[in-house]
Amino acid sequence: MKFKGMLLIILLVPILLPNVSAQSPLVIVPLNDEFTGVPGDTIIIPFQLRNLGNQTVSNVTVYVTGPTEGFLYGSKVIREPIGPNETIQDTISVKILNLDPGRYNLTLVARVGSSYSEAQITVSVKTLVDYALSIDVNDEYTYGSNVTVRLKMTSQANGVIIGRLGYTLTRDGSVLETFVTTIYLRPGESWIKDVKLTTPRVGDYSVYFWANFSGRFKSKTATFRVYQRNLRYDAYFRDGAIYVHVYDENGQGVPDISVKINGIPFKTDNEGTVSYLVDKPGTYEVILNLDGKIVTTFVEVRKLFISAAQENETLLVRVVDSTGNSVPNITVTASGPLGKDYSTTNASGLAEVDLKKVGYGTIMLRAESSRYIGGEASVKVTQPVTPTPTPTTTTTPPLTTTTTPTKPPRSYGPLAAILLIAGVILAGTSYAAFFRPIVQEEMLDRYYFVKVKAPRLKGVDNFRFEKGVNAIEVKATKGKAEIGDGTVVWEIDHLEPEEEAYLQVILG
């Protein structure tokens, strides 16, 4: 029974299985198997697809494989049906990236379903000679600035390249500098050279940069200008600070100008201004670099000094500056037990304070002006004694008369002496002012000041001033001042009529 069942199954198997015919694989054949290129090239690979089977195929995928880096591989799907024993032709692309020179084996693949075909091709990558040139320089520079021109060549080759490069620098058409050299660069390497110009002259400059590698010539040109502006400046003292303002011909402030005040370096701000706080009198040296033009000037900073004398119910206040000159139009503030009083100095530097307003005792005085360093002083004043009138007796018969009281003469105390001395000095100096130079000396704390003024009618030649003092530093607004053995010597070649000059001595 079992034997009959097995026999029946064996006979039925051929009937139940489907008909299957023999099938040859799909074949891909490259029409060229040797290719040459350089980095950046795209290689077109022509190929032929052959259907050796007995059934039509479609949607055939074709692609290229090879090294994981260095190539950009293409792929495509051929949807056109390919009948038995039919052949079609097509192309596929491969791009060479930044790859070293050499021979590379690639595989061309065709796949449909689970069937695929392969073919080998070879790509020879040659040396690519390529590079980039650049010139880094600004368009404009102000005179007095240093200029740096950066030249750069970067290799874009896939191998070592050897060649020559150079540059030519000109100003206003005239050659200033030439340079030529031979170099080699590996892939991605750069050659850099900085051409430095120290405070170049005013003019129009040109840089011509060239290179020649394996017959591939490239060049680049850049131009720049060095110019000098017509700069102006003001230097002055105001409100406790020295100000330096630099501006152009249009009155616009110029930033980034180098300024030195007594050796301390500054740069002008966006408004073209430098400010430097000072609290001591003296002559301050200001040095400016105006687009390469070095200018030196001086700012005289003076301090106000106060002296006072009481005249009955009035306090006479005299204000002088560091040189001993009387200063008009100075606001004087007096503070006392009863309050404050304000006054302004006259042409002689004198101001009057009403003691009935401020009271008697210790009076604090302050002199202020935007043009000077303020001065302070204290003085003690006493209330004046009012004289008691003496009664008189008469033996004459009473008469009806009208008596006009006689006001006692006012006592001017030291004021009369001051006015008398001032009159004598004025009379004497009026002659000197016309024919002889006037020399004034003043000592304040550790400062000793000398002022010389030429007469009105003629200048002064070969002026010399010598003083025996223990000095540690001297400054003069004009001429030459030197410290000797216990002496100070000041010499001026020439002063114009009415021209003034100052000497400041710091005592040891």
Write out pLDDT tens, residues 90-128: 999 999 988 889 999 999 999 988 888 999 999 999 888
**Residue 303 predicted with pLDDT over 80:** yes
Record the pTM.
0.49
Write the CB contacts of 440 (distance below 8 Å, at least 6 apart in sequence): 323, 324, 325, 450, 451, 452
Q: What's the mean per-residue pLDDT of the chain?
A: 84
What would the pLDDT profile of 337-346 be if each residue is shown by its tens digit?
Answer: 888 889 999 9
**Residue 469 predicted with pLDDT over 70:** yes
Q: Are 327 and 319 contacting, i.e. CB atoms less than 8 angstroms apart?
A: yes
What would the pLDDT profile of 363-421 be if each residue is shown by its tens digit?
Answer: 999 998 888 998 899 999 988 876 666 555 444 454 444 444 444 444 444 444 444 44
Q: What is the mean pLDDT of residues 217-230?
A: 94
**Residue 276 predicted with pLDDT over 60:** yes
What would the pLDDT profile of 406-458 be if each residue is shown by its tens digit?
Answer: 444 444 444 444 444 444 343 444 444 456 788 877 776 677 888 888 887 77
Place of tokens 């000398």: 450
3-state secondary structure of 128: coil
Cα-based torsion angle of the residue sequence 13, 16, 21, 26 in order, rounded to the nearest 10 degrees: -110
Q: Binning pLDDT at 50, 70 and 90, where does residue 484 land?
A: confident
- Highest mean pLDDT, choosing among 111-115, 243-247, 460-464: 243-247
Of 16-25, 212-221, 253-262, 344-353, where does mean pLDDT reach its minimum?
Answer: 16-25
**Residue 259 predicted with pLDDT over 80:** yes
Burial class (CB in 10 A: 0-12, 13-18, 19+), 347: exposed
